[in-house]
């Protein structure tokens, strides 16, 4: 058992928050190189942090030693003031109770019903891509995923309620800006809309939520707010963008054609996209007691910065870790499918994981079977990783309809 390399540093002056936020990838690689270790410590948000970039480290924190940690989000930026009491801030029995309710809302039979609505919205929007259109994928997917979430989680009819949808989208954008920069108290207006629709909606998702065993109307509305907020559409749009851009590279044209015909190969492509471009760069925990992770001693009271993207690309598990290689899932990494941490893991794993998987596959298949697509040449494809993983610039892709 070894002490974590690195120094916690002085309060304020030793804080590394800005260094990390400026370029999280460079921050992580620099420290891994300097300490020759994928586990190190430092001061972030003015608190002692253990940075965990090893795949084994994430496995232990999320799965094997999960009960030694509490979730670290309640005092993370403005999250709690914007969302209120939510599963993500809870622990122990309270977390179990809320997860039980949410699992029922997203059980497979219900998800099958939700999917028919997702299909209607997706088909309508994707069919507006014309032959030889030049598209900015992130913009297109954000429009699509926002429409999916508002139609599904709020029961908004996107065609007939355009003005209402526009007003709600503006509120969700302001709410999002509150999350990532200044605190603004906009959740009340959004919560009022959620509560009104919860009372009115006769069928679909909101009626399933109404029947669920939430302890109060406020608890119910807070959880719907989570799904309606910009967080989920942005994360979903980020994943779809990474899928689209990677397969738009000229060297991947053959992979794209194979994915269009072979379902198993498409699943490998999507898993590889999740591995390389997790929308959320990482997660957070708080050590309740002294604990050993991947051989390093972490003292009680340390926060854990889970560096999901770095762990997904740990060369100890993934050969040619930075290379897009869907074939790995049927060869060298066939036993490692559960070592991609994009949706978390263990007892606090994302509840929407399977549902998101179905939505992504539906959109991916529609695109693969209807279009060929290719990057417009000579563009800067550099990624930014915060707040969600996506290209820094408005990268363009040319779509061509198949079979015209």
Question: Which positions touch ligand HEM (CB under 6 A)?
Answer: 87-88, 95, 99, 102, 106, 227, 232, 235-236, 239, 279-280, 283, 342-344, 348, 350-352, 355-356
**Looking at beta carbons only, is 67 or 320 nearer to ligand HEM?**
67
Helix (H, G, I), strand (E, B) or coil at 396: coil
> In this structure, what is the dihedral angle of CA atoms 308, 314, 317, 319, given to the nearest 10 degrees?
130
Q: Give the residue from 264, 188, 240 showing the smallest Cα distance to 367.
A: 240
CB 291 within 8 Å of CB 298: yes
Place of tokens 């540093």: 9
CA distance 157 to 61: 42
**Looking at beta carbons only, is 9 or 77 nearer to ligand HEM?**
77
Smallest separation, CB 28 to ligand HEM (Å): 17
Helix (H) or strand (E) holding 260: helix 253-261
Q: Give the residue from 138, 66, 133 showing the smallest Cα distance to 304.
A: 66
Smallest separation, CB 11 to ligand HEM (Å): 26
CA distance 377 to 336: 35
Neighbouring C-beta atoms of residue 169, cutoff 10 Å: 16
Smallest separation, CB 351 to ligand HEM (Å): 4
Burial class, 137, CB count within 10 angstroms (exposed 0-12 / middle 13-18 / buried 19+):
buried
CA distance 19 to 22: 5
**Looking at beta carbons only, is 75 or 320 nearer to ligand HEM?**
75
Q: Give the residue from 309, 304, 258 showing the smallest Cα distance to 285.
A: 304
DSSP H helix total and E strand total for the chain: 16, 13
**Looking at beta carbons only, is 267 or 372 nearer to ligand HEM?**
267
Smallest separation, CB 134 to ligand HEM (Å): 26
Distance spanning both ends of the chain, measured CA to CA: 64
**Looking at beta carbons only, is 228 or 247 nearer to ligand HEM?**
228
Smallest separation, CB 342 to ligand HEM (Å): 6
**Looking at beta carbons only, is 48 or 278 nearer to ligand HEM?**
278
**Looking at beta carbons only, is 253 or 349 nearer to ligand HEM?**
349
**Looking at beta carbons only, is 239 or 248 nearer to ligand HEM?**
239
**Looking at beta carbons only, is 102 or 156 nearer to ligand HEM?**
102
CA distance 250 to 308: 28
Q: What is the CA radius of gyration of the chain?
A: 21
Residue nearest to ligand HEM (CB): 352
Smallest separation, CB 149 to ligand HEM (Å): 8
């Amino acid at each position: 058992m070894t002490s974590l390399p690195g120094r916690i540093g002085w309060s304020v002056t030793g804080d590394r928050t800005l260094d990390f936020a400026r370029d999280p990838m460079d921050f992580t690689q620099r420290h891994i190189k300097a300490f020759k270790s994928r586990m190190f410590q430092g001061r972030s948000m003015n608190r002692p942090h253990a940075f965990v970039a090893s795949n084994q480290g994430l496995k232990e924190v999320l799965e094997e030693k999960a009960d030694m940690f509490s979730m670290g989000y309640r005092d993370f930026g403005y999250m709690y003031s914007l969302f209120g009491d939510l599963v993500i801030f809870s622990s122990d029995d309270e977390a179990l109770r809320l997860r039980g309710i949410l699992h029922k809302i997203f059980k497979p039979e219900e998800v099958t019903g939700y999917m028919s609505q997702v299909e209607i919205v997706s088909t309508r929007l994707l069919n507006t891509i014309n032959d030889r259109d030049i598209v900015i994928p992130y913009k297109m997917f954000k429009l699509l995923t926002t429409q999916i979430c508002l139609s599904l989680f709020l029961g908004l009819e996107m065609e007939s309620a355009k003005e209402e949808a526009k007003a709600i989208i503006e509120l969700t954008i302001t709410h999002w800006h509150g999350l990532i920069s200044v605190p603004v108290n906009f959740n009340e207006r959004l919560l009022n809309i959620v509560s009104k629709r919860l009372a009115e909606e006769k069928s679909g998702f909101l009626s399933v939520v109404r029947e669920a065993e939430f302890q109060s109307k406020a608890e119910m509305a807070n959880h719907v707010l989570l799904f309606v907020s910009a967080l989920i559409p942005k994360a979903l749009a980020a994943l779809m963008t990474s899928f689209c851009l990677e397969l738009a590279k000229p060297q991947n044209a053959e992979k794209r054609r194979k994915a269009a015909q072979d379902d198993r190969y498409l699943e490998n492509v999507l898993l590889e996209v999740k591995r390389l471009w997790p929308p959320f760069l990482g997660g957070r925990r708080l050590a309740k007691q002294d604990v050993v992770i991947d051989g390093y001693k972490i003292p009680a009271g340390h926060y854990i910065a889970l560096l999901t993207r770095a762990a997904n690309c740990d060369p100890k598990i993934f050969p040619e870790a930075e290379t897009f290689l869907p074939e790995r899932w049927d060869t060298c990494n066939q036993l490692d499918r559960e070592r991609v941490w994009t949706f978390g893991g263990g007892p606090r794993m994302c509840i929407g994981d399977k549902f998101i998987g179905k939505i992504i596959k539906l959109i991916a298949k529609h695109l693969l079977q209807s279009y060929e697509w290719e990057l417009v040449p000579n563009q800067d494809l550099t990624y930014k990783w915060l707040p969600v993983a996506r290209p820094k610039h408005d990268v363009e892709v040319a779509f061509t309809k198949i079979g015209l």
